[in-house]
C-alpha cells in the first residue's frame, strides 16, 4: 500500500478476517483503504450508508484499492442497537432502489427460502453432521417453507452485528463491511437484529421506526430466517471444532424451535 500512496504515508493493517483493510495517515490526513471491496461501494457512499468514497485505483495485478474518508467515531454498543437511528438507516438501505439495481446488474440472484433449504441440506450431507437439532431445524425449515414465501426482495447486509455500525463524532451513523451482502427477504436482516438485540416487547416500536408494522407474516418470516442462520452458525463452529460456541448455539436453536412465534408480540 505504501507504494500506492507514497513513502510519506504511514500504513497499518486495520485487522479483520480478510486482512485486506488498512489505515493510512499523512500528517492530519487520514484514509481507510481496502483491497477488492464491495463493487457497489460507490452507491453506498453516495447514499451516505458508508463513509465517503474518495477514489479507487486498479493495481497491475488486477486488484482494486478503494480509499474512504476516515471517520472519527466508534462502534455501537449492543444496547444502542435499539435506537431509532439504527432502525431508520436499515430501513433506508432496504428501500434503496439504486442499491438493488446495482446488485442486480452485477448478476447476483436473490437468496430464496428454497435455495437456503437446499444449501443447508447439502452442507449437512457434506459435513456428515450428526447433531440432532440440525436435522430438526432442516425439517422445520422445509415444512414451513410455504409460510415464508415473499415477493419482497431487497439488498440485505446479512451481518448486522453491532461492531459493523459506526457512529461518527458528528452523529452520523454508518453500516460498514458489505462483503457478504445479498439480495434477500428483508426479514433476514430484521430477524437477526431483533432476536439478537431488541427486547421482544420493543419490536413493534423498533419496526415502526424502520417503516413497517409487525404482523403474523413478518413474525413468521423473521423466525424462519433466524433458525436458518443459526444452522449455519452451528455448522461453522463445528467445522472449526469450537465446542463451547457450538453448544451455546445448539441450545439457542433448540429454544427457537420450541418458541411460540405468535407470542413474540
| Residues labelled catalytic | 159
Of 254, 108, 240, 251, the residue nearest 178 (C-alpha):
108
- For residues 65 and 33, the answer to whether their CB atoms sit within 8 Å is yes
Cell of residue 117, nine digits: 433449504
Angle 216-218-222 (CA atoms, 0-180°, nearest 5)?
120
Burial 191-201 (b: 16+ CB within 10 A, else e): bbbbbebbeee
DSSP 148-174: G--S--EEE-S---GGGEEEETTS-EE
Of 5, 38, 37, 52, the residue nearest 24 (C-alpha):
5
In angstroms, the CA 178 to CA 212 distance is 24
Amino acid at each position: 500500500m505504501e507504494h500506492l500512496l507514497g513513502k510519506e504515508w504511514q500504513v497499518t493493517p486495520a485487522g479483520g478476517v480478510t486482512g485486506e483493510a488498512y489505515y493510512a495517515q499523512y500528517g492530519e490526513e487520514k484514509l481507510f483503504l481496502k483491497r477488492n471491496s464491495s463493487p457497489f461501494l460507490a452507491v453506498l457512499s453516495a447514499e451516505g450508508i458508508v463513509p465517503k468514497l474518495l477514489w479507487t485505483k486498479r493495481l497491475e495485478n488486477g486488484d482494486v484499492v478503494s480509499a474512504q474518508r476516515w471517520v472519527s467515531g466508534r462502534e455501537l454498543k449492543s444496547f444502542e442497537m435499539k435506537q431509532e437511528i439504527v432502525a431508520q438507516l436499515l430501513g433506508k438501505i432496504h428501500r434503496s432502489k439504486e442499491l438493488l439495481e446495482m446488485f442486480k446488474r452485477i448478476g447476483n440472484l436473490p437468496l430464496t427460502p428454497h435455495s437456503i433449504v437446499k444449501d443447508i441440506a447439502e452442507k449437512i450431507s457434506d459435513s456428515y453432521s450428526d447433531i440432532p437439532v440440525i436435522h430438526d431445524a432442516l425439517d422445520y425449515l422445509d415444512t414451513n417453507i410455504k409460510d415464508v414465501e415473499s415477493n419482497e426482495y431487497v439488498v440485505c447486509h446479512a451481518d448486522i452485528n453491532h461492531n459493523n455500525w459506526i457512529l461518527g463524532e458528528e452523529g452520523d451513523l454508518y453500516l460498514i463491511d458489505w462483503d457478504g451482502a445479498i439480495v434477500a427477504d428483508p426479514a433476514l436482516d430484521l430477524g437477526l437484529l431483533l432476536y439478537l438485540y431488541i427486547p421482544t416487547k420493543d419490536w413493534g416500536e423498533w419496526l415502526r421506526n424502520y417503516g413497517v408494522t409487525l404482523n403474523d407474516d413478518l413474525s413468521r418470516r423473521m423466525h424462519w430466517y433466524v433458525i436458518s442462520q443459526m444452522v449455519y452458525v452451528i455448522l461453522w463452529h463445528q467445522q472449526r471444532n469450537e465446542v463451547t460456541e457450538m453448544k451455546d448455539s445448539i441450545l439457542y436453536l433448540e429454544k427457537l424451535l420450541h418458541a411460540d412465534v405468535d407470542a413474540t408480540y
